Structure 1
Amino acid sequence: MPALITPALVCAARHHGEHGAIARLLTPHHGLLAGYVRGGRSRAMRPVLLPGNAVKAEFRARTEEQLAGLSLELEHSRAPLLSEPLPAAAIDWACALTAAALSEGTPHPALFQALDGVLGAVEAAPAARGWAAALVRYELLLLAELGFGLDLGRCAATGGDTDLAFVSPRSAAAVSRTGAEGYESRLLPLPAFLLEGGTGEWRAILDGLRLTGFFLERSVLTGWRADVLAARERLVERLGRVVG
């Protein structure tokens, strides 16, 4: 089989054997791909395999069923961010979610662009509020790409498209204030920035994370995938401290 050479984002890596590592990368046109990195545990390769790094990847395999051998060239390192608790937690979660949620070999070009954008925002923003809303939108996009998208266009109760303020946890559809009357405690808040754009206030961002987290946990991060939720809990806890 011919080699595949592609830009990619490192999402996860784990030790394999005495010296190697298996890396999972998100690529723009081939989705999530895994490969064996010879010498992946070496001093030279460990900094390359950090989550969030942008790399040039070359996959080589004799057959489609065989785990590909993987060579990596570092294009852009985000290692300096990993010494900062909030950016490190955001990168850890976004990459862990991607590696756990996606099936290998299924193209998700919109997710590649969105994840690259979130990682760039974490790197460029002077404070967490500059990237937290983008992370919520990334989670919404991932839900939609996997077939669990939320219907935020119209009220599930009245059919109207104004004053949408809640989401039904049962139907994943928006509900207006009028339609929700008397049932507010049973619904999830729908932050306005998800409909109107912008970054949102902190309370709205936390509501957004609560919203996406509910559906990720229910529909995507089940079984063994639930292990990655610990990374999300660390991030939400640290963001909660910012709000105070």
Structure 2
Amino acid sequence: MQSLLTPAYILHSRPYRDTSALVDLLTLHHGVVRGVWRGARKPRSGVSPQPFVPLLVVLAGRGELKTVAQAETAGAYLPLQGDALFSGLYLNELLVRLLAPGDPQTLIFAAYQSALQALADRTHVEPVLRRFEWQLLDVLGYGFSLTEDASGASVVAEGVYVWLAEEGLMRLTDVRPGDARPGLSGAGLLAMADSDWTAPYALRTAKSLMRQALAIHLGDRPLISRQLFSSPGSTFKGDRS
């Protein structure tokens, strides 16, 4: 079976045999697809499986492992560098780990395109990462309310909350300044709900919450891309993914 041209991005590529590559693609019409790109590593072979490059591909084959029968670039793009590059690799790894092969996800495809554009525009990377993580969880059916707690009460800015996977947000009581118990700022949660990343506590709260929510679905195997944020090439002090 052979499909029509479909928009796609390379999420991951590794050598296969002499000149080919095994690739994971995010496609508009088929979701994540694993395939063989024959001749991908031949000199002067034309389009090569590079991440973040918009492609149009034709996929062939009846089994789960497809063949990239045709590929061409689908327009101009800006290369990612530094922390933007590390951030893009992090997004790619999330998609490979969390998306089921062959399950079309047009909203995630659009969110991924927007995230890459923001990174290419040299936007501060943390809001881009937090927004994409939340969109990904929500589209996959793992989202939850940021404005109401597990009891149905409205989240209040002065409150401090914890997140429980089976219940949602729960407000901590008797919290005093300097309390060592881990908690999520109510003001940060409300800012996150409004996508107001300039508000105090917004990014710190979103990072803590997304780490917890994603960990359940990622399992125990660590994300390789997170290590890049502590590498000499990163301007961040510590891990921002």
| 1:44-91 CA-partner distances (Å, limit 9, x unpaired) | 469732221110111011x2x25221022122465732xx32111011
Residue 202 of structure 2 aligns with which residue?
204
Counterparts of 1:188-227 in structure 2, within 5 Å, are: 188-189=184-185, 191=188, 192-200=190-198, 204-217=202-215, 219-222=216-219, 226-227=221-222
CA contact (8 A) 1:54 1:74 kept: yes
Cα separation, partners in 2 of 1:4 and 1:35, compared to 1, 3 Å: farther
Tell me the CA shift for residue 198 of structure 1: 2.9
Tell me the CA shift for residue 5 of structure 1: 1.6
Residue 133 of structure 2 aligns with which residue?
139
User: Out of 161, 184, 187, which is 2:183 matched to?
Assistant: 187
What secondary structure does 1:42 align onto? coil
Tell me the CA shift for residue 136 of structure 1: 0.8
Residue 94 of structure 1 aligns with which residue?
91
Q: Which moved more, 1:230-239 or 1:138-147?
A: 230-239
Query: Which amino acid counterpart does residue 16 of structure 1 have in structure 2?
Result: Y
CA contact (8 A) 2:131 2:195 kept: no
Query: Which amino acid counterpart does residue 79 of structure 2 have in structure 1?
Result: P
What secondary structure does 1:241 align onto? coil
Cα separation, partners in 2 of 1:162 and 1:53, compared to 1, 3 Å: same
Query: Which amino acid counterpart does residue 169 of structure 2 have in structure 1?
Result: A
Pairing 1:174–2:172 present:
no
What secondary structure does 2:109 align onto? helix
Tell me the CA shift for residue 148 of structure 1: 2.2
Residue 118 of structure 1 aligns with which residue?
115
Cα separation, partners in 2 of 1:215 and 1:161, compared to 1, 3 Å: closer
Query: Which amino acid counterpart does residue 199 of structure 1 have in structure 2?
Result: W
What secondary structure does 2:95 align onto? helix
CA contact (8 A) 2:119 2:128 kept: no
CA contact (8 A) 1:2 1:60 kept: yes
| 1:88-137 CA-partner distances (Å, limit 9, x unpaired) | 10111111111221111111111000010000000013x42xx4213212
Tell me the CA shift for residue 146 of structure 1: 2.9
Question: In 2, distance between residues paired with 1:236 and 1:143?
Answer: 25
Residue 29 of structure 1 aligns with which residue?
29
Per residue, is there more helix in 1 or in 2?
A: 1
CA contact (8 A) 1:7 1:56 kept: yes
Residue 101 of structure 2 aligns with which residue?
104
Question: In 1, distance between residues paired with 2:44 and 2:174?
Answer: 60
Question: In 2, distance between residues paired with 1:52 and 1:5?
Answer: 18
Give aligned pairs, total. 229
| 1:184-241 CA-partner distances (Å, limit 9, x unpaired) | 7243446243112233358632432232122212x22125xx24x1212433784743
Q: Which moved more, 1:203-212 or 1:30-39?
A: 203-212
Aligned-residue RMSD, C-alpha: 3.0
Cα separation, partners in 2 of 1:86 and 1:159, compared to 1, 3 Å: same
Query: Which amino acid counterpart does residue 200 of structure 1 have in structure 2?
Result: T
